[in-house]
Chain A
Amino acid sequence: MTQQQTTGGDVRLTGISKAYGSFTAVHPLDLTVPQGSFFALLGASGCGKTTTLRMIAGLEEASTGTVSLGGTDITALPPHKRPVNTVFQSYALFPHLDVTENIAFGLRRRRVTSVRERVAEMLELVQLGDFARRRPHQLSGGQQQRVAVARALINHPQVLLLDEPLGALDLKLRRRMQLELKRIQTEVGITFVHVTHDQEEAMTMADTVAVMNAGRVEQLGSPADLYENPRTTFVANFLGTSNLIEAEIVSAGTDVVVSAGGGTLRLPGSRCPAPTPPGGRLLVGIRPEKISLAPATDAEPAADGRNRVTGRITESSFIGVSTQYVVESPAGKALQVYEQNVEHRRGLAPGSEVVLHWDPAHTFALDATQDMDAGVQSVEDAA
Chain B
Amino acid sequence: MSATDTPPAPPAEEAAPARPVRGRSLRKRLVPYWLLLPGILWLLVFFALPMVYQASTSVQTGSLEQGFRVTWHFRTYADAFADYYPQFVRSLLYAGTATLLCLLLGYPLAYLIAFRAGRWRNLLLVLVIAPFFTSFLIRTLAWKTILADGGAVVDALEGLHVLDVTSRLGWTEDNRILATPMAVVCGLTYNFLPFMILPLYTSLDRIDPRLHEAAGDLYATPAATFRTVTLPLSMPGVVAGTLLTFIPASGDYVNAELLGSTDTKMVGSVIQSQFLRVLDYPTAAALSFILMAVVLLVVTVYIRRSGTEDLL
Residues of chain A touching chain B, judged by Cβ–Cβ distance below 8 Å, are: 57-59, 78-81, 84-86, 88, 90, 92-96, 105-106, 109-110, 151-152, 155
Contact = CB atoms under 8 A, between A and B. Distances in A.
B31 to A, nearest CB: 31
19 contacts: A58-B216, A80-B217, A80-B218, A86-B213, A88-B210, A90-B208, A92-B211, A92-B213, A93-B214, A94-B211, A94-B229, A95-B233, A96-B311, A105-B220, A105-B228, A109-B218, A109-B219, A152-B217, A152-B218
B40 to A, nearest CB: 34
A106 B221 CA distance: 11
Nearest to A112: B219
A109 B220 contact: yes
A163 to B, nearest CB: 10
B217 A57 contact: yes
A105 B227 CA distance: 13
Contacts of B213: 59, 79, 86, 88, 92
Given A92-B208, A94-B229, A86 B217 contact: yes
Given A90-B208, A90-B210, A92-B213, A85 B232 contact: no
A90 B209 CA distance: 11
B220 A92 contact: no
Contacts of B224: 109
Interface residues of B, number: 18
A153 to B, nearest CB: 11
Contacts of B299: none
- The 8 A-B residue pairs with the shortest CB-CB distance, nearest first, are A106-B218, A92-B214, A79-B216, A109-B219, A92-B210, A86-B217, A109-B220, A80-B219
B258 interface: no
Contacts of B233: 95-96
Given A90-B208, A92-B208, A80 B221 contact: yes
Interface in B215-272: 215-221, 224, 228-229, 232-233
Contacts of A57: 217
A302 to B, nearest CB: 57
Contact of A105 (B208, B218, B232, B311): B218
A118 B221 CA distance: 22
Contacts of B219: 80-81, 106, 109-110, 155
Nearest to B216: A79
A85 B210 contact: no
Interface in B283-306: none
A216 to B, nearest CB: 26
A345 B297 CA distance: 86
